[in-house]
Structure 1
C-alpha cells in the first residue's frame, strides 16, 4: 500500500469508533471475555516463553506454506472503510480488502455468510451480526492458527480476504493483554519492524532478543481517556514525525500493524487509543528517540 493511501486510511476511520475508544468505561466493563480473563492472565505470565504458544499450535509446521497476498484491494467507490461484524466483534479487512492465497491446511470451518449491507443502511445494519461494508455474500471462515476473535477469513470472488478484529461492535475497546494472547504473540512473531508513520520507510528492526519484553510491556497498555487537547497533541506528533508504524512480522507470512507515539505514551491498536505503561517508556523510549523520519507533507 502506498504511504499516502495508508495515511488516508488511518485518517478516514469513522469518528464514532474513535469516540467509542475514548469513552470512559463503567466499572467492571472492560472486555467481554469473562471466562478468558483468567486464561489471559495466565497467558501474560507466559509471554516471556514462546514455547507456551508453540504448544497451542500457533507456530506453523515447517512444511506449511505461508499466506501470500495475490492482489491489492480495489478502490472503495463510496470511500467507506471496509469492515465486517461477527460474533460481537468488529473486524477490518487487511489492506482494505486485499486478496490472499490461504493454504487449505490453515483454513478452518465456515461460520456464516455476510448478509447485511452496512453501506446501504448504516443505521439499521451497522450493529448486526454478519453485516459488512464489503464482500457481501462472502463466506466467513475460521483460521486454524488463530483464535476467531483475532482473525477470520472471508471467501469472496475466487479468493480470500483476511479480517482482523479492531473493537467490539458496541465500541468497547480491546484489552491488549487478552488480545495479544488470542493472537499468539509473541510466540508467532518472527521480527518487529518499525516504519515511519506512513508505513513506507523501514527505520529499524527491534533486536530479536527484545521481542518478548517489547510485547509484554505493550500488553500492559490500558484504554486512554483522551481530551480534545490530547487528540490535538496526537495529530501534532504525527505531523512532526514522532508517530511510528510498528509491524509484527508473523510466522504465516502476514503482519500485524499498529502505531506508537512514545513521546506521548500512546499506542493505537485497532480502533482504540491506549496509554502505554512506564515499563514500555523506560525500556524502549531511547530506541524510538534515536529514530529519525521526515515529517509527512501537509496538504
Structure 2
C-alpha cells in the first residue's frame, strides 16, 4: 500500500489531521513509536513512584521516625504462683521483725519510688532474656535495716535502696517506659516494680504519669469496685468511654500536701460507701489501682493525692449520689 492510498482510506474514516499524522508515523516508523511510548511510561513512573513512596512514608514511616522506634508489642505479664507467701530476705543480716507482712515492698531508682507488683510475687519474664541487655544497676542499700537503726544512712530516699530483694539487678522492662515500670532479677527469678512517687515525696503530675504508663495505648477497661475490691460496681469497656476516663485522669491536679485535718478526714473515709477502688485494667494482664473518695473530691494515684475535677464530678457523680445522701 502506497502512502497516497493509505491517506485516502484514512480520509474516509474521518480522523483529524493530527491523528492522521500520529497514525502514519506509527505505521511508517514502528520502532520510533515504541521508543516514544517507553519514554512516556518512564516519565509516568518518575512522577508516580515518588508520590507512592511519599504516601508510604506518611502512612507508615513517619510515625516510626517521630517515635524513634517501632511500636512495641504488648506482652501478657503472668505472675508465678508460689506455694507460700514470700517474705523479705533479711536473714543474712540477722534482723528480726515480728511483722514482716506489714513492710512495704518498694525500691528507689533515678529519684523515683517503685512498688513491687502483686505484693512481690515473681513473674515469668524468661522469654524477654533480660540478662542480654545492659543492667541499670544493683539494689545495694537495705532500707529496712537502716530504718531499724534510726535511718541514719538515709537509705529511704537513696537510689538503689530497697525494702525487698536486696542484691537484685535492675533492668529495663521491654515495652515500658523505665519511668513507669522496671524489672528486677534475682536468683533466676524476675519481679516487676511500678512507679508510685518520688523519693522526695513530691507529687507526680497526673498527665506525666498517664504518659509514662502509656495509658492511651495500654488501657483495656476501667472498673469501679467497692473499697476492699471484692465487689464490682461498674465497668467501662467501650473505647470511647475508656478514652474519656484516661482524659479525666490526666487532667487531675495535685492536691498538694494535705493538712493534718485533711489526713484525718481521709482516714475516716477509708471505709466502704465512702471510698472506692478505681481499677485501670491494662491489656498486658496487670492493673493500676487508685483509691477514690468522692465526698472529699480526692483520688490517690500511687503515693499522692489529686483533686477530682469539676468535669469529672459532673460526669460521674451520679454513681455515688445514693451513698452520699
The answer to which structure, 1 or 2, has the higher relative contact order (CA under 8 A, 6+ apart) is 1
1:258 aligns with 2:290: yes
How far residue 186 of structure 1 moved from its aligned partner, in angstroms, is: 2.3
Cα separation, partners in 2 of 1:205 and 1:289, compared to 1, 3 Å: farther
Cα separation, partners in 2 of 1:56 and 1:212, compared to 1, 3 Å: farther
Q: In the alignment, which residue of structure 1 is the partner of 2:71?
A: 57
Return the TM-score normalized by structure 1.
Answer: 0.72
Which residue of the other structure, out of 180, 183, 186, is the alignment partner of 2:216? 186
Q: Deviations over 1:65-113 (max 9, x none)?
A: x111112652455332111001111111112211111253485642111
Which residue of the other structure, out of 161, 171, 182, is the alignment partner of 1:152? 182
Which residue of the other structure, out of 67, 87, 90, is the alignment partner of 2:77? 67
Q: Which runs of 5+ in 1 are unaligned?
A: 1-51, 293-299
CA distance in 2 between counterparts of 1:285 and 1:138 reads 45
CA distance in 2 between counterparts of 1:277 and 1:56 reads 35
Cα separation, partners in 2 of 1:59 and 1:184, compared to 1, 3 Å: farther
Q: Which runs of 5+ in 2 are unaligned?
A: 1-65, 89-98
CA distance in 1 between counterparts of 2:322 and 2:121 reads 34
How far residue 178 of structure 1 moved from its aligned partner, in angstroms, is: 0.8
Q: Is the 8 A contact 2:226 2:272 kept in 1?
A: no
How far residue 240 of structure 1 moved from its aligned partner, in angstroms, is: 4.8
How far residue 191 of structure 1 moved from its aligned partner, in angstroms, is: 0.9
1:199 aligns with 2:209: no
1:83 aligns with 2:83: no
CA distance in 2 between counterparts of 1:199 and 1:158 reads 32
Q: In the alignment, which residue of structure 2 is the partner of 1:212?
A: 243
Q: In the alignment, which residue of structure 2 is the partner of 1:5?
A: none
CA distance in 1 between counterparts of 2:291 and 2:188 reads 32
Task: Give the strand-richer structure, 1 or 2.
Answer: 1
Q: In the alignment, which residue of structure 1 is the partner of 2:137?
A: 112
CA distance in 2 between counterparts of 1:202 and 1:194 reads 6
SS of residue paired to 2:305: strand
Q: Is the 8 A contact 2:273 2:323 kept in 1?
A: no
SS of residue paired to 1:68: coil
Q: Deviations over 1:50-70 (max 9, x none)?
A: xx99x972652xxx5x11111
Q: Deviations over 1:3-58 (max 9, x none)?
A: xxxxxxxxxxxxxxxxxxxxxxxxxxxxxxxxxxxxxxxxxxxxxxxxx99x9726
Q: In the alignment, which residue of structure 1 is the partner of 2:271?
A: 239
Cα separation, partners in 2 of 1:260 and 1:56, compared to 1, 3 Å: farther
1:35-50 alignment runs, 5 A limit: none
Cα separation, partners in 2 of 1:58 and 1:181, compared to 1, 3 Å: farther
Q: In the alignment, which residue of structure 2 is the partner of 1:46?
A: none
SS of residue paired to 2:211: helix
Give the greater-gyration-radius structure (CA). 2
Q: Deviations over 1:240-272 (max 9, x none)?
A: 522111111111111111111122210101111
CA distance in 2 between counterparts of 1:151 and 1:290 reads 38
Cα separation, partners in 2 of 1:56 and 1:281, compared to 1, 3 Å: farther
